[in-house]
Copies of this chain bind each other. A is one copy, B any other.
Amino acid sequence: MSRYTELLEKIKKKQAVVSVIGLGYIGLPTALFYARSNLILHGTDTNEVLVSDLKQGKIAMLEEGLEEIARNYLMKIDLHTNYEQLGDSDVCVLCLPSPLDEKGKPNTAYLEDSISNLAKILKKGPLIIVESTIAVGTTEMLSRMFAEKSGLKEDKEFWFAHCPERVLPGKIVQEMDENHRLAGGISTRSTEITVEFLKSVFRPDLIHPTSARISETAKLAENAFRDTNIAFANELARISDALGVDVNEVIRFANLHPRVEILNPGLGVGGYCLPKDGWILVESAREKGFDSKLIPAARAVNDSMPEHVMRRIQKTMKDRNLESTTVGLLGLSFKANVSDTRNSPTLQLMSFLKEEEISYVVYDPLVENDFGSTKLNSMNEILSGCKIIVLCVGHKIILEELQRADLSKIILVDPRYELKRLKSEVEYYIGLSS
């Protein structure tokens, strides 16, 4: 029996040994889903604190439904901090970071290290699946690298695919079940065996065979599309501000049009994916001689928002002789109801305030890190100490606390228009535009 047939049989019978490499925002829920489907499972992460916490059942990330699934399936995952015991893996699923380097180019060091480690220890030719969002052509490059380092023959002794995660932080558990998945193999056989593997865990009608390059491009395009549409809303906010109209009203009326759906503007775009994936797509094309125009413009617009909000705060302080007061920032994470602060626009706003020597304190019951600022422990402390409050991120708990508070003497800065219903209850309300 060829290794392909053997592997296919093992996958179909759920006897394949599966290793999830990287147990972060995507890897951990992914591993738990596999465990729930009764796969034989290794999970490894070089972060020793994370793995030791997981062994004790502790989960740091905040995700709806994650604790419940962890309670039932975490103990079924064989947890490690290195690759030593992954030698018997049939399927390796890489959920590793793919950040930008200092020059703004995709950094594949985590993926390359993992490929090198796997090439050393795997006893039989595996199916390797990359879930990370990567530049177009990276899957093929990693596959060639694995062939060189392992001595195994691509498409004959091992198979390789890109299956990008597509879930929304905060709804990861729900969306892992419900979202469509791409199975982008480097070859027809790689695609086919990947489809079989995914079918053993997820709904078969949600799995779509394609090529690695198309899968890579589609995933980057998804995030660039979101980023560009948020940028449109943000540019409209800046334009509305210049024109002296309320962008919130402009969008409400424009969206009555049957073919228009402008997103909400805000403090900017954060999180791990959106601020970088547009650049990865642009850089992929630039290497082939094409200079993109729209996606870079979208990035520039979104990056300009924290400073815009700072300028509006600054102007209000000047207009009302409040220059010596302390500004209270509510919410440090990059979006509501998560603890993830990666690329959070609030952190950008903080550095702009610091630059302009405007003093501030922060409050976020979901985030532990204080990022070098004074972090208060209750909404009361913020409200008694600050005349100007900025709702950077509307965690459910923050919105509830604000709802109960007396805001009649407060100047509320609300760049996401989450509390526009309180407009008449606060002393002064500031959105993104006049």
Q: Which residues of A pack against B, CB within 8 Å?
A: 136-137, 166, 168, 175, 178-180, 182, 208, 210-211, 213-215, 217-219, 221-222, 224-226, 228-229, 231-232, 235-236, 238-246, 249-251, 253-254, 256-260, 262, 281-282, 284-285, 288-290, 292-298, 300-301
Are B253 and A218 touching (Cβ within 8 A)?
yes
Given known A218-B253, A250-B218, contact A245–B297 (CB-CB < 8 A)? no
| Interfacial chain B residues near A257, Cβ < 8 Å | 166, 179-180, 222
| Interfacial chain B residues near A180, Cβ < 8 Å | 256-257
| Interfacial chain B residues near A243, Cβ < 8 Å | 136-137, 213, 217, 284-285, 288
Are B218 and A179 touching (Cβ within 8 A)?
no
Are A254 and B240 touching (Cβ within 8 A)?
no
- Known interface pairs A214-B253, A238-B290; 9 further A-B residue pairs with C-beta atoms within 8 A, sorted by A's residue number: A178-B258, A213-B244, A218-B250, A221-B254, A222-B254, A235-B292, A235-B294, A242-B288, A244-B288
The A interface is mostly helix, strand or loop, or mixed, namely: helix
Are A290 and B214 touching (Cβ within 8 A)?
no
Residue contacts A-B, CB under 8 angstroms, 25 given: A168-B259, A179-B257, A180-B256, A208-B256, A214-B245, A217-B243, A218-B249, A218-B250, A221-B262, A222-B254, A225-B232, A225-B262, A226-B260, A228-B232, A229-B229, A231-B294, A235-B292, A239-B284, A239-B290, A242-B288, A243-B288, A294-B294, A294-B298, A294-B301, A296-B297
Which of B218, B240, B258 has a CB less than 8 Å from the CB of A217? B240
| Interfacial chain B residues near A182, Cβ < 8 Å | 253, 256
Q: Which residue of B lies closest to A175 (CB)?
A: B258
